[in-house]
Structure 1
């Protein structure tokens, strides 16, 4: 009886979720950054 390669499936899942979430986080971060800069500019000027 062969046990399924849990470690490899876990790594694959982790990598796929990582590659999926990183662009989302970067996008939201950039959005927040632009929002903050816009707000600071509007308040300073």
Structure 2
């Protein structure tokens, strides 16, 4: 799954560089974390 998404990102950005990959990984982590927090919050209600 992760490898596939990285392949798609590389194709769409025309290869990109290490910085783009780091930014993408950071965004993915933030989205994952946000989803986790949202799930915990909704469970507490």
Give the TM-score range, shorter chain: 0.5 to 0.7
Larger Rg: 1
State how many pairs are aligned. Answer: 30
Mark the runs of 5 or more structure 2 residues left unpaired by the alignment: 1-15
Q: Normalized against structure 1, the TM-score is what? A: 0.59
| Structure possessing the higher relative contact order (Cα contacts under 8 Å, 6 or more residues apart) | 2
RMSD of Structure 2 on Structure 1 (CA): 1.3
Runs of 4+ with deviation above 4 angstroms: none
Mark the runs of 5 or more structure 1 residues left unpaired by the alignment: 1-15
Q: Normalized against structure 2, the TM-score is what? A: 0.59
